[in-house]
Amino acid sequence: MTPPPRVLCARYPHLALVAAWANHPELRHEPVVVGGAAELRLPVLAASAAAQAAGVRPGQPLREAQQRCPAAAFVAADEVAAARLRGALLDRLCRLAPIVEVGDEAAYCDLSGRHAAHPEESGWAVAVARSITGLLDDDGVAVGVASSRLVAGIAAGRAGSRRIRRIAPGEEAVFLAPLPLVSLAVDAGIAARLAALGLDCVGAVANLSSADLQRQFGPAGKDLWHRARGEDGVGEWPPVPRSGGPEGASPLMAGGAMGPPRRLGERLLLEGGVGDLEALRFAVHRCALELGERLRRQGRRAAVITLVCEFDQAQAEELRIAPLQPPGSGAELWPVALELLAGLRLPTPVTAVRLEIEGLQGQVGRQVDLWRRGDAAGEEISGAASRLRARFGSAAVRRAALAVDPGDLPERRFRWADPGAEAGAGGDAPARGTALRGRRQPAVPVMPALRR
């Protein structure tokens, strides 16, 4: 069973500032501006709390920072020391969590499942916080734990120094409801339009329907609706595991617990229901291109593709396929989605289409056999064979292989094999090239971001 996703966010002073403190311990409690001498025409990289209290902000010109805080000490950024700190921090956190993302001012850890040495989540979070504090030798570390990266980050920002703010699963919306919209980093134009309607807090926006926001603000409105509910942007978390282990599994995870599922989805609402196949084709095409663009940006491929058509009065129809060659772009995803659309039964007009991809994996290159003509097109041929198998059945396109122990009968000399069997399907993914038709199966774990 896959545990619910839990994300820890730790906020700490900028690593360049920590490195400056290490080089100049006498400046520990003084206003410090990192970026260079005040005469240089460079921006502020980081500023201590005292300097920020005087109005200095990262990104400001150094001259302006000097005007705002004349008493501040201006030091150059020691990038080597900062990189060394980042590496050490990454090394420490990787011993505590299976998936880690370290930045200059914040780090994220995957706390899903259970740690062998820290069975309780609170103890696990304390261990992570102590590890960071011990390395940075700083008291300004604030930690937040929640079910999504977004809420964990906000919780850490509101926790205060040396504090851990835990948001229980399911309490994200309650936690976010009274906060102002700026907490979600909403576009200023959208925030102004919402404020004009009296919608100035996260809870007010969360109560709106996704369709209304999407109609008014397009994809940004849909994204805002998800963020108001504490859901991450699709694909934001977890990152691709660095270890390359299956689904981010770690030896530290007790009981073989796994990381959160990797799944992306794109849903398009159709005004009033659409029964025209050409219009549905257009909608699915748009979903495929958007999903493919995300895949391309992340450099990943999808092992399983699911197309769901929703109806007003009937249960959603779903068709799933595990193509031989996992698509990694919109151009590769679109033919697969088209095959799925052709295989769906549409009894009534469709109110929404949803294209989901899961089993995300990194792009893996392949050495082409230079002596075999057409080998460079092997992926395309495998993909075409996969689509034919999905459409006409598994016996439509096959590859023969000689039997290891042939009998006397001619038909026992060989066995039929899947053309892409060597690609291998992992986990619970259906057999390669096979389409599974059926109703929505609630047993399949779904990321909160996809419960739309």
Partner 1 sequence: MSTPLSQALATLRRRYGDAVIQSGDTLSRTGSVWPTGLPTLDFRLTAGGLPLGRLSLLAASPPPGASGRLTLLQALSAAASRERTAVYLDLAGSLDPGFLADLGADLEALLVVRPPSGRWGEGLSMARSLVVAGAPWLAVALPPVAPGRDPGWEHRLTGLVEAVSARQAVCLVAAAAPVPPALGYAASLTLGCEAAGWQEAHGDVVGLRTRLTVLASKVGAPGEAATLLLRYPRPFATAHVVGWPAVVDLTAVVERAPSQIAAAAG
CB 387 → partner 1: shortest distance, Å? 7
Helix 79-94 to helix 15-23 angle (10° resolution) is 110
CB 430 → partner 1: shortest distance, Å? 20
CB 391 → partner 1: shortest distance, Å? 9
CB 380 → partner 1: shortest distance, Å? 4
| Nearer CB in complex with partner 1: 221/383 | 383
**Cβ neighbours of residue 405 under 8 Å, at least 6 residues apart?**
none
Q: Is 431 left (phi over 0), alpha (psi -120 to 50) or beta?
A: beta
Rounded CA separation 434/390 (Å): 5
Classified as helix, coil or strand, 35 is coil
CA angle in degrees (0–180, nearest 5) for 414-419-424: 110
| Nearer CB in complex with partner 1: 185/396 | 396
Question: What tokens appear for 432 in the block?
Answer: 């390669």
For binding to partner 1 (CB under 8 A), which residues are involved? 371-378, 380-381, 383-385, 387-388, 392-393, 395-402, 406, 410, 413-414, 419
CB 402 → partner 1: shortest distance, Å? 6
CB 398 → partner 1: shortest distance, Å? 5
| Nearer CB in complex with partner 1: 121/418 | 418
| Nearer CB in complex with partner 1: 85/337 | 337
Q: Contact at 8 Å (CB) between 298 and 319?
A: no
CB 420 → partner 1: shortest distance, Å? 11
Which amino acid, one-letter code, is at 197?
Answer: L
CB 379 → partner 1: shortest distance, Å? 9
CB 383 → partner 1: shortest distance, Å? 7
Contacts 24+ apart (CB under 8 A), 113-117: 113/3, 113/253, 113/254, 113/255, 113/257, 113/258, 113/259, 114/3, 114/253, 114/254, 114/255, 114/257, 115/252, 115/253, 115/254, 116/252, 116/253, 116/254, 117/252
| Nearer CB in complex with partner 1: 57/415 | 415
**Cβ neighbours of residue 72 under 8 Å, at least 6 residues apart?**
30, 31, 32, 33, 47, 50, 51, 54, 56, 65, 66
Rounded CA separation 194/199 (Å): 5
CB 417 → partner 1: shortest distance, Å? 9
| Nearer CB in complex with partner 1: 197/371 | 371
E strand map for 160-262 = 164-166
Helix 330-343 to helix 277-298 angle (10° resolution) is 140
Residue 448, preceding peptide bond in cis (omega within 30° of 0): no
Question: What tokens appear for 401 in the block?
Answer: 């292989």
| Nearer CB in complex with partner 1: 373/439 | 373
Helix 219-228 to helix 210-217 angle (10° resolution) is 140
Question: What tokens appear for 211 in the block?
Answer: 């369709």
| Nearer CB in complex with partner 1: 166/387 | 387
CB 397 → partner 1: shortest distance, Å? 5
| Nearer CB in complex with partner 1: 116/417 | 417
Rounded CA separation 383/140 (Å): 53
| Nearer CB in complex with partner 1: 196/395 | 395
| Nearer CB in complex with partner 1: 365/407 | 407
